[in-house]
């Protein structure tokens, strides 16, 4: 029997990340989960290792990631599922809020991949999977800053794919449409109530598993996942905090 593969997973504490962890742990994977909050107790401590790290703390992030990499040199896959949403016209954002959104949705993702890519290259194989957004495909009103982070993440993946293929590293970007998670709790809009109006986190987990299970010679460069119908329900609009 082949040894279980080991994954670094950001955003493991909830939403999409938790669904990815749940599915992959049931499929003979081992996971090192990064999140700001401790993971839920349903994860087997034998196969799931918790690392409580705030990805928005860029000043300390490189050293924290270095320590995780030194403790888990057998990681062969990196899946970045962490991210936040903030929407509004550009002038509604403070300069600090612009920086914060870029830090967590883009810069921290580059830091994570930068920290673990040498491990994957030394192994001669591995996967990097990033969870993007449909906002990387087309900009929309009140989404300028958010879309900017996702467009940049898409460009990063396209370049990294070309840089890493010779080392046996596969790079995949998954762009979900609206996903029924707590992502919308603090926003002034959400998907419609019908099941056809949003995908669920488990859909993304299935796509991640498919990507990781493909023959080593096959790469899913980019996957777009969308609900059958795009229906947006507006809540009472409140100003950005």
Higher pLDDT, 239 or 106: 106
Report pLDDT for 237: 56
> Is 214's pLDDT higher than 90?
yes
Report pLDDT for 241: 44
Report pLDDT for 153: 98
Mean pLDDT throughout 98-115?
97
pLDDT tens for 62-72 read 999 999 999 99
pLDDT tens for 47-56 read 999 999 999 9
Report pLDDT for 1: 45
Summary mean pLDDT of the chain: 92
Mean pLDDT throughout 27-53?
81
pLDDT tens for 160-179 read 999 999 999 999 999 999 99
Report pLDDT for 41: 54
Task: Read off the pLDDT band of 223 (50, 70, 90).
Answer: very high
- The pair phi, psi for residue 166, each rounded to 5°, is -65, -25
Alpha-carbon gap, residue 38 to 45, rounded angstroms: 12
Mean pLDDT throughout 105-109?
97
Is residue 50 a contact partner of residue 33, using CB atoms and an 8 Å limit? yes
Strand partners, 234: 189
User: Which of 29-43, 85-99, 163-177 shows the lowest per-residue confidence on average (mean pLDDT)?
Assistant: 29-43
Report pLDDT for 75: 96
Alpha-carbon gap, residue 126 to 165, rounded angstroms: 10
Task: Read off the pLDDT band of 4 (50, 70, 90).
Answer: confident
Task: Read off the pLDDT band of 187 (50, 70, 90).
Answer: confident
Report pLDDT for 183: 84
Report pLDDT for 188: 84
3 state SS for 139-154: CCCCCHHHHHHHHHHH
On whether the pTM is more than 0.75, the answer is yes
Alpha-carbon gap, residue 21 to 205, rounded angstroms: 8
Tell which phi-psi region holds residue 130, choosing left (phi > 0), alpha (psi between -120 and 50) or beta. beta
Report pLDDT for 240: 45
Cβ neighbour number for residue 160 with a 10 Å cutoff? 18
Alpha-carbon gap, residue 87 to 78, rounded angstroms: 28
């Amino acid at each position: 029997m082949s040894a279980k593969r080991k994954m670094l997973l950001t955003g493991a504490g909830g939403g999409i990340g938790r669904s990815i962890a749940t599915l992959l742990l049931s499929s003979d994977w081992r996971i090192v989960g990064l999140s700001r909050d401790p993971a839920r107790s349903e994860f087997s401590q034998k196969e799931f290792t918790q690392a409580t790290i705030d990805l928005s703390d860029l000043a300390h992030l490189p050293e924290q990631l270095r320590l995780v990499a030194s403790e888990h040199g057998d990681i062969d896959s990196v899946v970045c599922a962490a991210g936040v949403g903030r929407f509004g016209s550009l002038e509604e954002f403070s300069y600090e809020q612009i920086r914060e959104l870029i830090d967590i949705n883009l810069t921290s993702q580059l830091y994570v991949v930068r920290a673990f890519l040498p491990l994957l290259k030394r192994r001669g194989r591995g996967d990097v999977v990033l969870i993007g957004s449909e906002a990387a495909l087309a900009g929309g009103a009140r989404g300028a800053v958010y879309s900017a982070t996702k467009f940049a993440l898409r460009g990063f993946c396209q370049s990294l794919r070309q840089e890493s293929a010779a080392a046996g590293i596969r790079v995949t970007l998954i762009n979900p449409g609206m996903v029924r998670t707590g992502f919308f709790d603090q926003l002034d809009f959400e998907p419609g109530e019908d099941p056809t109006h949003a995908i669920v986190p488990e859909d993304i987990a299935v796509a991640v598993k498919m990507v990781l299970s493909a023959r080593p010679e096959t790469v899913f460069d980019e996957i777009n996942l969308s609900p059958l119908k795009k229906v947006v329900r507006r809540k009472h609009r409140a100003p950005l905090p």
